[in-house]
Every structure is written in structure tokens, then in C-alpha cells.
Amino acid sequence: MFNRRHFLKSGVGVATTFGATSLLPAWAQSASHGNMGHMHHSATEFDLHVSEFPVNINGRTGQAIGVNGTVPAPLIRFREGDDITLRVHNMLDVDTSIHWHGLLVPFHMDGVPGVSFPGIRAGDTFTYRFSVPQNGTYWYHSHSGLQEQVGHYGPIIIDPAGTDPVEYDREYVMVLSDWSFESPERIYEKLKTVSHTYNFQERTIPDFLEDANENGLSETLSDRAMWGHMRMSPRDIADVTGSTYHFLINGHSTADNWNGVFNPGERVRLRIINASAMTIFNVRIPGLPMKVVQADGLHVQPVEVDEFQMGVAETYDVIIEPQDDQAYAFVAESIDRSGQAVATLGPRPGMRAQAPELRAIPTLTMRDMGMNHGSMGHDMSGMDHGSMDHSGHDMSGGMDHSAHMASAPEEAGEWPVERPDLAVGPGVVNINAMPLYRLNEPGLGLENVPHRTLNYEMLRSLEPNPDTRLPDREIEIHLTSNMERYMWSFDGVRFADIREAIQMREGERVRVTLVNNTMMTHPIHLHGMFFDLVNGGGNHRPRKHTVNVKPAEKVSFDVSADHVGDWAFHCHLLYHMMAGMMQVVSVLPDAAGAARRDEQLRHMQHQGMDHSGHGQMDHSQHQGMDHSGHGQMDHSQHQGMDHSGHQMPAAEPEAAATQQHNHGGHHR
């Protein structure tokens, strides 16, 4: 599919003469360039050439690092369970890598230099081989340096082995990203040396001239007038903003107008991927409801909304059913409202929808600063550190299991939910004594919009959760920072200073609680394993690979340590990760633990027991019954998600040996 000839044709440096769209892969083209939303080409072997090449973004030429000469990279599409071979050829003069975001691959195929493999040296080829027991929308990107910022990202679609529970007539991949004509090294240097780099209000005449040169005079003037009027620092919400970024949909700026077609009455599936380096987006299609059917690649019970906030690295699949013969604007607006990317969905190729005005910059509140001492509703959860009492928000799902949850851990006496070892210091400006439960909130700036918004509490997995055991123990991890010095970390320790990985034993069920001590929203990503958000969803909790943690928020997820290996765990804001907001989760092989887990799950299945919250029966064993109410549900793929299916070759001595070896990599 992606052969060498294709690479040579597009990588020879004549990019600028073709204009904006000719260097895009077919899936990213507009309808006016032939993309009609039918792209079923799937394969099992892929050749991916990583190189540096010019791209045309928003009418200007910049230098990209990417795959097969295009930004975004080619679509990798294959079928669940197939054996996949991906040869990655490094044509750069520096190291590169590819991480398959959200895919349950063996850990040495996970593509994180220094954690799961050494990286791919200049001139080398690395062959990734795996087969995964999952389907859905995912993506891939470099995990080396700052390459992800300059174009090294692309979409992945895994088609279900059985029938797809989502029915649709057409599909489009919508890759959201942020592009700057400044080099990412320069951006990072500026963030580290000047605290308010991308804040317009504090910028100077030379800065202004530079912006005008880069972005055009009128755009610069209107942005400045707007932000001056608001009298607030966008830096407080996003630290790299529209002052340097061009926001893109499938490589197109608003001016380049990516457009897709539909026939009125059709069901159109949009596979939306936030492949940004730093930008959390609000996504909406004014006048058209979106039915969310998938989150982070896994099916959810359809829920209709008008807008949702999307962390970096999250994916959402939505179904839209436009009935009218008109063009609709697909809007991806940055969380700080410093810019947006607008595409068009219309009945004919080449249409351009009216782009909405940018909305007013949202204001951080006392709540976001962790200074809410009120006792309204869900705030209670933060006040009870000792007992791990989530009753406050589990009520919504039905039967309360708080007594069960609160007592068991205390008896066990191993619930370190306080962190006396954590202290304010150079890298930790603030420790939040009163973190808030915010899973029922849509995200910063969407609190008061006049339409339906999504929040994490509304997500219910379509499939019953494969593991509903109570957690064996809890780990509390704090998101910490000193924003002025651009220091970002977990528990106040930068990744470079980490002495010990977060350890789990195979077969364990671990509750991870994240406490955000910063005023920013962080999309936190765990490699190698899905985690079940503790959102009151009983045995239908959403299973995710990335969770957006709001300012001052405390959020918990349960993870079944069933995938042996070393897994990166980090904030997916690129410069936060670079600054040190990263750790490694090591799942150590434990045959006895795995056997114990299997026994427990067998027992629970036999008893029809579900410890996850509702006391209701686990419907997973009743093949004919589908209590979620969707005729579309496909039980065949449930087989594919079976636990045993994605066991690492854990028992294999080779894997264990490699893991030992890799442990040295991050212990400094």
C-alpha cells in the first residue's frame, strides 16, 4: 500500500508547486479532490518511511517530519486479529520511533524509546509485528523528541473481525492537529525561559511585527484586540496557543477548507482523532447533533450531544445524520479559544460552510484553582481522604455500593490515599487539599453553552466490562507543576529523576487515583492497557487509554494488570511530557497472580456477581440478552476482547528477560 515509489514521488522537495492538498493521503483529501468517504482498503503489510520534507500549510511552506511524505501520515487500516507487519524506515539523520496509540501490542512493539525499545537509529529499519484483539479508531505517532509536533502522526482503523455494531453509509477520518512555523525546539525553549511567551497581552512591538509577518496583519490585529478586551491571560488555560499555532483538520487550515460530502438522510461516521501536540479541542457541528458511539476505540452506548471537549490523544467516533441539503461547519475550537479549525460537510464537493465566530475566552474560576471549600453535591468526594468513599458520585448509576467500597479497603489497611511524602518545593507550587469530583462536568468553557455537552459520566461501554473485581489496592498520583518555571511532573519528580517505576503485579486489580494540583487540564495516557473510569457506570464503565484531568480534579480509574511489560504513562501534552510529566508502569509477571485472577473471574461469572457497583447481574454471560438496548450489539467481537486474547507472551522467558533488561533504562 505504501511503497517506496510513493515515497520517492512525494519526498523529492517539489512540494510547494503542488499546493496544499496534493501531498495528502487519499483519506485526508477533500471531497473536491475525490474523497467520497468510502475507504475500505485494508492491508497486513505496511512500509512507512520517516523523512523530512516541505509541506504547505495555510498557504505557506514549512518543514515537516512525517511518514511517506504527507502530513498527516497514511491511514493504516487492518482487520482485528490479523498478523500485521509494519516496516519503519528511518530516512532522518536522527532517531525516530512509532508508537501505536491505544493498541494492545506486546510491550517491545510499543515504540517508546528508553522504555520499550531503543528507538530506530538514522538509516535503520525497524519491523513491528503484532496482532491485536481489538477494533476501532486509533492513531500512531513518533515518541522521539518533538517530532510529533511537526507532522509525525496518522490514523489507524481496525475493522471488527465480526459485524460492526455501528452502521454507517460513509465514514471520514477527522485528524485534528496543531501546526507552527516556529520550530518545536524554539517553542520549548521559549516556554522554559519566558513564562508568558504566548500571552499576547504582555508581548512587545517586535513580537507583534513577527506575529504579523507570520500570521498576517489583520489576523494579528483582530486577535490582539480580542484578547486585550478580555483582559486575561490565555496562558492560564493553554501554554501554547493560536498565537503560534495553525489548527488543522486533516492537514487543512480553515482557509484550506477540508470538505466531505453526504447525501441527506445518510448515516455518516466521523472518526475524530485529536493528534495535536498541545491542543485540547471543543468539537461541534452547529445545527447537527452528534451521536457518540465510540470513545478511545471502544464502543460506547450511543449518546447524543451537540458538543464535546476532547483531550490530546483521545478519539471519538460519532454518527451524524444530516437531513437537509445544506453545508455544515465541523468546528474544532482550541480550549483557550485562541483559534479554531473549521471544515465543511455538505451535499456537494467543494462547499464551504460559514465558520462561526470564536467564542469568548473561558475564565478560570476559584474551582479550577482548587479553592472551592463549598459542600455542594459532588465536592464531598474530595473531603474524605481516608475512606476512599466514592459514594457521592456512584449514586447516579443506581444502587449504591459505597458501604462495600469504603469498608473493604480500610480493613485491608493498604489504601495510601494521603501522600504525606509529597511536599511543596521547587517543582511543586501547590498541593490541592480539596480536590473535586468533576467527571460530570463537560470541561473548561463548556459549562454554560446553550446546548447538550458530553461529560465522562455519560459514557457507558457497550460491552460489559471484562473485569469487575474490586481493586486490590489504590495508588494515588499527583499531577504537579511550577508553571512559571515550566516544570511539570508526577508527584513532584521529573521523569529524568525517577528512581523507581510504578509497579504492578500480573493479575492485580489496581485503582489509580489522579489528583490534579495544577490549573491546567492534562490528558493522561497509559500505554498497553485500557483502564475503566470510575464514573458510576457499574459493569459498563467506559474503558479508555487517555483521560482528560481537569484543574483541581480528582479522578480514579481501575486497571487490570494483565499485560506484562514496561508501559509509558504520561501527560499527552507534548511539552509537559518533555518537561518530565511522565512515569513508567511496570507490570511484573506473576503466574500465581494471573491464575488467582482467572479463578476469581470464573467464580464471579459463575455466580453472576458483579462487584463494580450496582449489584445487578453481569449480562455478559447471557449471550442473547442485551440490556443496553441496542440491536446493533455484536457479541462475536466480545470473543476478541477476551482477557486471554491479549495476554502478553508473559510466561515466555524471553519477554521476561527483555523486561529485566529494560528496567535499567529508566533507573538513573
Binding site for Cu ion (CB under 5 A): 522, 571, 573, 576
**Distance (Å, whole) CA 250 – CA 343:** 9
- Which residue number, 293 or 313, has a Cβ lying nearer to Cu ion? 313
Instruction: Compute the Cα dihedral for 588, 593, 595, 600 and give only its sign.
Output: negative
Q: How far is the CB of 488 from Cu ion (least distance, A)?
A: 6
Q: Is 295 exposed, middle or buried (0-12, 13-18, 19+ CB in 10 A)?
A: buried
Buried/exposed code over 64-76 (b: 16+ C-beta within 10 A; e: otherwise): bbbbbbbbbbbbb
Q: How far is the CB of 475 from Cu ion (least distance, A)?
A: 19
User: At which residue does the C-alpha cell 466480545 appear?
Assistant: 638
Q: How many residues does the chain have?
A: 668
DSSP string, 211-240: HHHHH-HHHHHHHHHHHHHHTS-GGGT-SS
- Which residue number, 313 or 329, has a Cβ lying nearer to Cu ion? 313
- Which residue number, 173 or 428, has a Cβ lying nearer to Cu ion? 428
Is the separation of the CB atoms in 75 and 29 below 8 Å?
no
- 517 Cβ contact list (under 8 Å, min separation 6): 370, 428, 430, 431, 432, 478, 479, 480, 481, 552
Q: How far is the CB of 581 from Cu ion (least distance, A)?
A: 5
- Which residue number, 112 or 132, has a Cβ lying nearer to Cu ion? 112
- Which residue number, 295 or 571, has a Cβ lying nearer to Cu ion? 571
**Distance (Å, whole) CA 547 – CA 564:** 22
Q: Is 152 exposed, middle or buried (0-12, 13-18, 19+ CB in 10 A)?
A: buried
**Distance (Å, whole) CA 81 – CA 224:** 52
Is the separation of the CB atoms in 63 and 45 below 8 Å?
no
- Which residue number, 576 or 611, has a Cβ lying nearer to Cu ion? 576
Q: How far is the CB of 69 from Cu ion (least distance, A)?
A: 31
**Distance (Å, whole) CA 65 – CA 125:** 17
Q: How far is the CB of 494 from Cu ion (least distance, A)?
A: 13
- Which residue number, 318 or 573, has a Cβ lying nearer to Cu ion? 573
3-state secondary structure 77-118: EEECCCCEEEEEEECCCCCECCEEECCCCCHHHCCCECCCEC
Q: How far is the CB of 161 from Cu ion (least distance, A)?
A: 36
- Which residue number, 502 or 581, has a Cβ lying nearer to Cu ion? 581
- CA angle centred on 402, ends 399 and 406, rounded to 5°: 160
Eight-class DSSP state of 252: B
Q: How far is the CB of 338 from Cu ion (least distance, A)?
A: 17
Instruction: Compute the Cα dihedral for 168, 170, 173, 174 and give only its sign.
Output: negative
Q: How far is the CB of 575 from Cu ion (least distance, A)?
A: 8
Q: Grid coordinates in use for 23? A: 501531498
Q: How far is the CB of 542 from Cu ion (least distance, A)?
A: 21
- Which residue number, 2 or 567, has a Cβ lying nearer to Cu ion? 567
Measured CA to CA in angstroms, residue 604 lies from 285, 402, 462 at distances of: 43, 20, 20
Q: Given strand 60-67, what is the order of strands in its sheet?
A: 60-67, 45-57, 84-90, 125-130
- Which residue number, 547 or 571, has a Cβ lying nearer to Cu ion? 571
Q: How far is the CB of 573 from Cu ion (least distance, A)?
A: 4
Q: How far is the CB of 583 from Cu ion (least distance, A)?
A: 13
Local structure of 531: helix, strand or coil: strand
Hey, which bits of 185-310 come out as E strands? 245-249, 259-261, 268-274, 281-284, 290-295, 298-305, 307-310
Q: How far is the CB of 147 from Cu ion (least distance, A)?
A: 18
Q: How far is the CB of 523 from Cu ion (least distance, A)?
A: 7
Local structure of 330: helix, strand or coil: strand
- Which residue number, 65 or 573, has a Cβ lying nearer to Cu ion? 573
- Which residue number, 98 or 573, has a Cβ lying nearer to Cu ion? 573
- Which residue number, 469 or 544, has a Cβ lying nearer to Cu ion? 544
**Distance (Å, whole) CA 19 – CA 21:** 6
